[in-house]
Amino acid sequence: MQKVLQQLIELQGLDTRLDALTAKLGDLPETVKTLEKQIVNEEEQNKIRETSVEENEALVRRNSAKVEDLKSKIEKYKEQLFLVTTNREYDALTAEIEYNEEAIREAEDQIIQAEEENERLREALEQTEKNIGEMRSKLEEAKNSLEVTQKETEKEKAELEKKRKSLTAEIPRRYLSVYRRVRQARNGLAVVPLLRDACSGCHNRVIPQKRVDIYKKNQVVTCDFCGRFLYAAEDEEEE
């Protein structure tokens, strides 16, 4: 049992140090991911805007050609007005002229709307490009900082992970399973010393019989309240 307890203590030490190395990276990994995602989203939005601008430009060209064609028709109808001989013919030509004039107004309204929309879209494109540029600068800075920090820690991290892999292979599965569960539930701390007759993890007092077992090191003892593995601190042993 003493060997298992020592292994659990060592494992906790390795994991605590690995957690510290991960914490040293701070929020840089998440910052990099977030910025990359934001840049992709902004670029996709700009592609949609660019497509809308092209569609509006095509609409303007079609309606401009339509207006010219309608104006040409109206001129011909107006010339024919001088040649009509009956009121019926005159009314028919007048109706055609009015119909085409209305069609021109509708086409011109569409042109104005498309041009106004394109103006807004181009402003949005310009602002988004500026935002993307700023995000790219931040991303480059975050990547550089992350790379530097990773290089500073990668050697130690690799050594710790190698030791951890070797160690976990030796610890009985039932203890390792409890360790993982408690560590996840207790903010990374699954093995703690007994201090002043209490669990130093949750600070609840440990019953006398369990304290005896902890000092004798003949059993692997867990806290009745938080489930952490308990061991005797050096000063407690000496006392």
Tens digit of each residue's pLDDT (9 = 90 or more) over 28-71: 999 999 999 999 999 999 999 999 999 999 999 999 999 999 99
Q: Token pair for residue 121?
A: 């879209």
Whole-angstrom distance, CA of residue 157 vs CA of residue 239: 36
Is pLDDT above 90 for 239? no
The pLDDT tens digits of the residues spanning 65-89 come to: 999 999 999 999 999 998 888 999 9
Fold annotation for 25-168: Helix Hairpins (1.10.287)
Is pLDDT above 60 for 159? yes
Distances from the Cα of 75 to the Cα of 44, 66, 80, 97, angstroms = 47, 14, 9, 9
In the 8-state DSSP scheme, what is residue 219? S
Its pTM stands at 0.65
Looking at every residue in the chain, the average pLDDT score rounds to 93
21: Cβ–Cβ under 8 A, 6 or more apart, which residues? Answer: 153, 156, 157, 160
Q: Domain extents for the chain? A: 25-168, 173-238
pLDDT attached to residue 236: 47
Instruction: Sort strands 229-232 and 191-195 into parallel, antiparallel or unpaired.
Output: parallel
pLDDT attached to residue 233: 81
Is 231 in a helix, a strand, or coil? strand
Task: Read off the pLDDT band of 148 (50, 70, 90).
Answer: very high
